[in-house]
């Protein structure tokens, strides 16, 4: 699994922008009145001046059009601002504007990369700044950041949302954002259980691979090691059953930095069918955990197991709303 272990997921309900940043960045300041949050990598007094990233969500007046382009043009026209490049591009699955600027101020020359996305009557913006002398370090970070962003539209009246352009699904009860491969469909079996079904496989009697996410509590969380106990009990069950064969058990490092453990195994329910399955336990706080179950027929494992890895890699967990 190619989990980006050097990246950390950040999200604030103020900006509603989910993003990935390298290890070393931290949330610096959240502003409820401005619906914004700032991230930085130079908060230690011993650090050299580094990067600042402002993520913001602005409520527009009804009927406002092209607010993204107008704000980009206004920013580029400010004194000391020189436009290097501007382009229209898809950002988080929506049409948006990205631009690079050189800014001259009292602190010297500044590298700036900005993104603006208007979705209905909301304007999402990202403003990335760093000293120009470190542009070779920070410009690739800022560019990768733009590729990572997701917009989260959840509310009490909208407990789930699916962006068909990007395949990203957000779910309020499960407190997560997930990625669905093309052709996969979600089904909420109950508020705490979401299952994704892949396309039916020709020649396999319409079989569909599955990937499910459950948010649960352990029966007993009085012991601080309850997560490890859950995993040990599951491994013991697999080893004791004649129909199951344990293939692998290992730790995972996800962008949310939450403790995670993967178990892969083979299941033979009868003489004619063999399945390969994954179970992933992800601890969320001191009394909740996510249980991920993914399953495919063994002849399809070479195709589907890398897909399951990518779906795991793209899970992002959200704080309570």
Q: Do residues 178 and 213 lie in contact, with contact meaning Cβ atoms separated by under 8 Å?
A: yes
Residue 153 contacts by C-beta under 8 Å, 6 or more apart in sequence? 16, 119, 161, 170
CA dist 165 and 312 (Å) reads 20
Enclosing H/E stretch for 194: strand 193-197
Structural domains of the chain, with CATH: 7-151 (3.40.1000.10), 160-317 (3.40.1000.10)
Q: Structure tokens of 112?
A: 């700036």
Q: Do residues 127 and 53 lie in contact, with contact meaning Cβ atoms separated by under 8 Å?
A: yes
Nearest alpha-carbon partner for 55 in 144, 126, 146: 126
Helix (H, G, I), strand (E, B) or coil at 300: helix
Q: Do residues 122 and 60 lie in contact, with contact meaning Cβ atoms separated by under 8 Å?
A: yes
How high is the pLDDT of residue 1? 37
Please write down the HEC assignment for all residues of 213-245: EEEECCCCCCCCCHHHHHHHHHHHHHHHCCCEE
CA dist 10 and 255 (Å) reads 9
Q: Structure tokens of 256?
A: 């949310």
Q: Which residues pair with 158 in a beta bridge?
A: 155
CA dist 27 and 37 (Å) reads 7
Chain centroid to CA 123: 20
In a 13 Å sphere around the CA of 303, the CA atoms on its Cβ side amount to 11
| Angle at 235 (CA atoms; ends 234, 239), nearest 5 degrees | 120
CA dist 67 and 131 (Å) reads 28
Burial (Cβ within 10 Å: 0-12, 13-18, ≥19) of residue 280 = buried
Residue 263 contacts by C-beta under 8 Å, 6 or more apart in sequence? 231, 234, 235, 238, 246, 248, 249, 278, 279, 280, 281
How high is the pLDDT of residue 46? 81
Per-residue pLDDT of the chain (321 residues; tens, 9 = 90+): 334 458 999 999 999 999 999 999 999 999 999 999 999 998 888 888 899 999 999 999 999 999 999 999 999 999 999 999 999 999 999 999 999 999 998 889 999 999 999 999 999 999 999 999 999 999 999 999 999 999 999 988 899 999 999 999 999 999 999 999 999 999 999 999 999 999 999 888 889 999 999 999 988 878 888 999 999 998 998 888 888 999 999 999 888 989 899 999 999 888 788 999 999 999 998 889 999 999 999 999 999 999 999 999 999 999 987
Q: Structure tokens of 22?
A: 């390298």
Q: Do residues 94 and 117 lie in contact, with contact meaning Cβ atoms separated by under 8 Å?
A: yes
């Amino acid at each position: 699994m190619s989990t980006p272990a050097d990246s950390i997921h950040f999200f604030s309900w103020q900006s509603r922008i989910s993003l990935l940043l390298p290890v070393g960045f931290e949330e610096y300041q959240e502003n409820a009145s401005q619906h914004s949050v700032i991230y930085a990598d130079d908060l230690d007094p011993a650090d050299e001046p580094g990067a600042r990233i402002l993520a913001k969500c602005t409520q527009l007046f009804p009927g406002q059009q092209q607010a993204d382009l107008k704000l980009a043009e206004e920013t580029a026209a400010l004194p000391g601002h020189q436009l290097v490049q501007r382009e229209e591009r898809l950002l988080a699955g929506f049409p948006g504007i990205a631009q690079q600027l050189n800014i001259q101020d009292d602190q010297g020359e500044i590298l700036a990369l900005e993104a603006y996305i208007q979705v209905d009557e909301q304007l999402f913006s990202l403003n990335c700044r760093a000293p120009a002398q470190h542009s070779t370090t920070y410009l690739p970070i800022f560019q990768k950041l733009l590729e990572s962003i997701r917009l989260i539209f959840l509310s009490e009246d909208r407990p789930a949302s699916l962006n068909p352009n990007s395949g990203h699904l957000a779910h309020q009860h499960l407190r997560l954002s997930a990625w669905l491969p093309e052709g996969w469909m979600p089904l909420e079996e109950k508020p705490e259980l979401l299952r994704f079904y892949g396309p039916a496989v020709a020649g396999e009697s319409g079989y569909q691979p599955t990937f499910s996410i459950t948010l649960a509590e352990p029966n007993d969380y009085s012991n601080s090691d309850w997560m490890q106990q859950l995993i040990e009990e599951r491994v013991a069950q697999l080893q004791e059953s004649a129909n199951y064969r344990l293939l692998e058990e290992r730790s995972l490092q996800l962008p949310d930095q939450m403790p995670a453990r993967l178990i892969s195994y083979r299941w033979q329910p009868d003489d004619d069918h063999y399945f390969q399955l994954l179970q992933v336990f992800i601890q969320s706080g001191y009394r909740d955990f996510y249980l991920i179950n993914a399953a495919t027929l063994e002849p399809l494992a070479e195709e589907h197991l890398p897909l399951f890895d990518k779906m795991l890699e793209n899970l992002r967990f959200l704080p309570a709303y």
